[in-house]
Amino acid sequence: MAVSKKEALLQAAKDLFGECGYNETTFKKIAERANVAMGLMTHHFGNKEKLFLACGLDVLENFHKKLSAATAGAPDGMTAVYRYCKAYLDFSVDPSTNWLVLVRCSPYSDMKTTSDRDIMIEKFMQIHQVLIEALKRGLEDHSIARVDPVQTAIIIVSLMVGVNRTRVLTPYAPDNFYEEALDFVVRAVAPCEGMPLVQE
């Protein structure tokens, strides 16, 4: 199926925001990468901030779908939590996801208007909600320890963010860093010693 000019512009923008960051990405670079006239960007997206918002929302929508799919078929809450974290980290190292749009260009700092920031925060809360539901399920089926699901979700997502940034942006991560992080999360919410934790 042929890619529309709007889709080509969006993909080129995601690539460049990820590669170069928000400040270094220009309409001219995006138009050249997409092989599309610069005027079409203004027509479709308005300005650079709106184009960045469209890129961030597109990546977040795909991320949400991936996390929801990963947890949907889990046999218990603990496994859902594990699959959520694994899908989070897998998504972050898949070049086709344009994850660097979110890493290099934080929507919290780069969105200039309150309405844009609110839109991004709402979408990020949907990402958290998938994990909250997995934790609630684990409380119900006793596959995880008695924890506050909202606070625990925030802690786990914060861990995923730090682990991802350490691997993607620094030279410090060992080869098995993601696997160790997943094991850490499972141990942190495990109900007791000696119980089978995850059904992969």
- Within 13 Å of residue 135, how many CA atoms lie on the same side as its CB? 23
Residue 140 lies in a domain: yes
* CA separation for the pair 58, 11 (Å, rounded): 10
For residue range 13-65, list pLDDT tens digits in order: 999 998 888 889 998 999 899 998 888 888 888 888 888 888 988 999 999 99
**19 is a domain residue:** no
- 58 within a domain of the structure (yes/no): yes
Count of domains forming the chain: 1
41 occurs within a structural domain: no
What does the mean pLDDT of the chain come to?
A: 87
Alpha-carbon distance of 1 to 98, in angstroms, equals: 21
Q: What is the pTM (predicted TM-score) of this model?
A: 0.86
Query: Does residue 165 lie in a domain region?
Result: yes
At 111-152, the pLDDT tens digits run 555 667 778 788 889 999 999 999 999 999 999 999 999 999
Domain that holds residue 74: 48-189
Residue with tokens 């001219």: 28
117: which 2 tokens? 């920031």
33 domain residue, yes or no: no
How many Cα neighbours within 13 Å face the side chain of 65? 7
pLDDT tens for 66-93 read: 999 999 999 999 999 999 999 999 999 9
- Cα–Cα dist 129/123, whole Å: 10
- Tell me whether residue 94 is in a domain: yes
- Does residue 180 lie within any of the structural domains? yes
The CATH number covering residue 63 comes to 1.10.357.10
